[in-house]
Chain A
Amino acid sequence: MEQPFSNEDLERRRAASRRLGWLIAAAALLLYLAGLFIKR
């Protein structure tokens, strides 16, 4: 059965992607900032 990606389905997937994207970006930023305070 051929079924198109519905607009609702695509929007749901993209919204989930945006949330996860911001989360990963925040983790990367945190890692960067933590690195600036590293001491040996």
Chain B
Amino acid sequence: MSSVTTTHPVEQHAEYHPGGLLRWLTTTNHKDIGTMYMTFALIMFFVGGIMILAVRAELFQPGLQLMKPEFFNQLIGVHALVMIFAALMPAATGFANWMIPLMIGAPDMALPRLNNWGFWLLPPAAFLLTLPFSLALLGFGDGAIATGWTFYAPLSVQGGWGVDFAILAVHILGISSIMGSINIIVTIFNMRAPGMTMMKLPLFAWGWLITAFLLIATLPVLAGAVTMLLTDRHFGTHFFDAAGGGDPILFQHLFWFFGHPEVYILLLPVWGLMPHVLSTFSRKPVYGYKAQVYSFIAIGILSVVVWAHHFFTAGMPIPALIYFMFSTMAISLPLAVLFFCWIATMWKGAMSFETPMLFAVGFIVLFGIAGLTGLILADVAADAQYHHSYFVVAHFHYALFAGGIMGVMTGVYYWLPKWTGHMYNETLGKLHFWLTVISFNLTFIPQFFLGLAGMPRRIPDYALQFAEFNAISTIGAFILGLSQLLFAWNVWACVRGGKKAESRSWEGAEGLEWELPSPPPHHTWEIQPQIK
């Protein structure tokens, strides 16, 4: 990775900035836009979290206690869409906006106005996604989308207007993500400081570069699929209607051509971030920089050729089953390289366990469980038993909560002193980590056993034999949800004040961003850093 030979002058810029709401509406500054993305993601994280706590409350005991099955289905679908499109993806984009220009020595993102527009598409899209809930409460319509986040036809063709709202929202969210991706790609290609070659690029930027290409390659396919769904619903086409000569399985192919790379879209920024954190708190250089870059590229390529493992049980020719099984398993090879590099970075390092490092190590362990259980699901013979069971739910939450959300929290704790100029409360951070890890496992380990015992997902009621594990899982989920309030409080308190953070907030931190004051001035890297 790169090192710097000159430092940025510590000076504040006294330029005109509009104040109040106008500042946030019109800003083209990458730091402001990064802050807006992160704030939006945090709010939507709690919105999606409340939805799933309502679901877990219903599942606390067998029988229907709190809600009708239709509403239960809506909560499940919108929870997933909110968490993926309105929490995790904006959080990662927030990181990119804040950090990529600082890390590559660029004065800003290459296309600042596009950046502003990309963000401001998000709130209306999230509003559209959740609006049908409110309308149903007022007596209009039958509520939000109730198909799960997968929009599977023919259910989605027959569903209420919640499906239309979700289709519109997904189009807007997709346009926003494509704008963000274009900006990130062109910024990395064109705005790097002199001397920062591609193989000196910080791994976080590499992770995001691959993510951006995946978004460009797959989001239009999702948009195409849901447009076809819209025309099936309202304009008399029969793309997914078997009675009209269409094919509902085609929808599954199109959806998962986006859906599987989406997993890596959510994870690659985190994988790029991890080496920075591990290296900092191990006080050692990153191990295997090139191996990690090539692994990112390999995973990016493999991720777009494995989609059909999500519906082995829908039926397909045996050669296709074998191909999708082995290609899926092949992803574990570059992923294993990443795990090896992360562990080797820590090996014999002078490690210390501040909150970001705790989250990073927790991420490695728990995300490892996601990988291993993923191998089980990739096995065609075994998948027939586990498909559509709670085993799948537990598996992908180990991937997307332990891998995605905990990864985001790693980054927030790591860079918060840089963003705010203050150190967060370390005791509170550690308490947040331990409560999160314990309650996360309390929530999802029982779900592995529920799945193995045969409990299907997306049902509001279940057989008595599943009662104990469901009760434990619900208790875990509420502790998990409530413990995130500690996170919100810690972030808020850090924004408001606290011990002053130094430029290099962590002893072992390396990289251009740590050459800047904390918080960095509104405009940075107007003087080109020189990269060795």
Interface residues of A (CB under 8 A from B): 1-5, 10, 13-14, 16-18, 20-21, 24-25, 27-29, 31-36, 38, 40
Contact between B528 and A18 (Cβ–Cβ < 8 Å)?
Answer: no
Identify the closest chain B residue to A25 (Cβ). Answer: B182
Contact between A21 and B178 (Cβ–Cβ < 8 Å)?
Answer: no
Identify the closest chain B residue to A14 (Cβ). Answer: B110
Identify the closest chain B residue to A30 (Cβ). Answer: B220
> What are 22 A-B residue pairs whose CB atoms fall within 8 Å in the complex?
A2-B527, A2-B528, A3-B528, A16-B186, A17-B110, A17-B111, A20-B190, A21-B186, A24-B186, A24-B216, A27-B216, A28-B216, A29-B220, A31-B221, A32-B227, A35-B223, A35-B225, A35-B228, A35-B254, A38-B254, A40-B247, A40-B250
Interface size on B, residues (CB 8 A): 36
A3 to B220 alpha-carbon distance, docked (Å): 41
B183 adjacent to chain A (CB < 8 Å): yes
- Is chain B's binding surface mostly helix, strand, loop or mixed? helix
Identify the closest chain A residue to B178 (Cβ). Answer: A28
Contact between A4 and B187 (Cβ–Cβ < 8 Å)?
Answer: no
B461 adjacent to chain A (CB < 8 Å): no
Contact between A31 and B220 (Cβ–Cβ < 8 Å)?
Answer: yes
Identify the closest chain A residue to B107 (Cβ). Answer: A5
Contact between A4 and B526 (Cβ–Cβ < 8 Å)?
Answer: yes
Identify the closest chain A residue to B529 (Cβ). Answer: A2
A25 to B249 alpha-carbon distance, docked (Å): 29
Identify the closest chain B residue to A29 (Cβ). Answer: B220
Known: A1-B530, A16-B190, A40-B253. A24 touches B185 (CB 8 A): yes
- Residue among A3, A29, A33 with most chain B CB within 10 A: A3
A2 to B227 alpha-carbon distance, docked (Å): 52
Chain A contacts for B217, CB-based, 8 A: 31
A10 to B228 alpha-carbon distance, docked (Å): 42
Contact between B219 and A28 (Cβ–Cβ < 8 Å)?
Answer: yes
Known: A5-B107, A28-B216. A21 touches B182 (CB 8 A): yes
A3 to B107 alpha-carbon distance, docked (Å): 13
List of 9 A-B pairs having minimum Cβ-Cβ separation, nearest first: A35-B224, A17-B110, A32-B220, A17-B186, A31-B220, A40-B250, A17-B190, A13-B190, A21-B182
Identify the closest chain A residue to B189 (Cβ). Answer: A20
B114 adjacent to chain A (CB < 8 Å): yes
> How many whole Å from A20's CB to the nearest CB in chain B?
5
> How many whole Å from A8's CB to the nearest CB in chain B?
14
> How many whole Å from A11's CB to the nearest CB in chain B?
11
A16 to B186 alpha-carbon distance, docked (Å): 8
> How many whole Å from A27's CB to the nearest CB in chain B?
7
Identify the closest chain A residue to B181 (Cβ). Answer: A24
Chain B contacts for A33, CB-based, 8 A: 224
Contact between A5 and B110 (Cβ–Cβ < 8 Å)?
Answer: no
Contact between A36 and B178 (Cβ–Cβ < 8 Å)?
Answer: no
Chain A contacts for B186, CB-based, 8 A: 16-18, 20-21, 24
**Contact among A1, A3, A14, A34 with B111 in the assembled complex (CB-CB below 8 Å):** A14
> How many whole Å from A37's CB to the nearest CB in chain B?
9
With contacts A13-B191, A18-B111, A31-B221 known, what are 5 further pairs, Cβ within 8 A? A18-B186, A20-B189, A34-B224, A35-B221, A40-B250
Chain A contacts for B187, CB-based, 8 A: 17
What 1/0 flags go to B171-201 for Cβ under 8 Å of A? 0000000100111011101110000000000
B3 adjacent to chain A (CB < 8 Å): no
Chain B contacts for A24, CB-based, 8 A: 181-182, 185-186, 216
Contact between A5 and B526 (Cβ–Cβ < 8 Å)?
Answer: yes
A10 to B185 alpha-carbon distance, docked (Å): 16
Identify the closest chain A residue to B257 (Cβ). Answer: A35
Chain A contacts for B191, CB-based, 8 A: 13, 17
A36 to B6 alpha-carbon distance, docked (Å): 52
Chain A contacts for B525, CB-based, 8 A: 5
